[in-house]
Amino acid sequence: MVSFRVTEQLARASARRPWVVVGLWVVLFLAGGYLGSGIGDVLTTEFAITNNPESVKADQLLEERLRGPDQARELVIVGSASATVDDAEFQAFVDGLLLEIRGLEGVVEGATSFYETGDERLVSMGRGKTLLPVAVAGDADA
């Protein structure tokens, strides 16, 4: 019965001075907002693995011994409202663009197109767009 007495006293005090209670809630709310506004400076979306688990060791071994560092990649989308990938003018435009992209020495390590590979996955369903996968110089983590 002692625990009810404390809450009873708090309820009676709140009923006697309701504006004091409202004022305290406003002060608490504003103080919480002020304290919460500074939390963005200490939070980050970056993460790092702090130990060296087997998955990290395996990834390092794969990179060192098999595949090399992950390569940065970009996709160039080429599309036309009137032509399709089957049209000669569309192919000429894509081939010219591919030559320009490959001419970016030091920036681009390689690029390909549907016309070189015949890979239908590089063509949209309506055949009005195609992808040009481009391997960018440097690694993906840079």
Asked if residues 98 and 78 have their Cβ atoms less than 8 Å apart, the reply is no
0.75 cut: is pTM over it? no
d(CA 61, CA 67): 9
Q: In which element (H, E) is residue 109 found?
A: strand 108-111
> Which of 48, 113, 32, 21 minimizes the C-alpha distance to 76?
113
Asked if residues 103 and 33 have their Cβ atoms less than 8 Å apart, the reply is no
pLDDT one digit per residue (tens) for the chain, 142 residues? 556 788 899 899 999 999 999 999 999 999 999 988 888 778 888 888 888 899 989 988 988 888 777 778 899 999 999 999 999 999 999 999 999 999 998 899 899 999 999 999 999 999 999 999 999 987 655 5
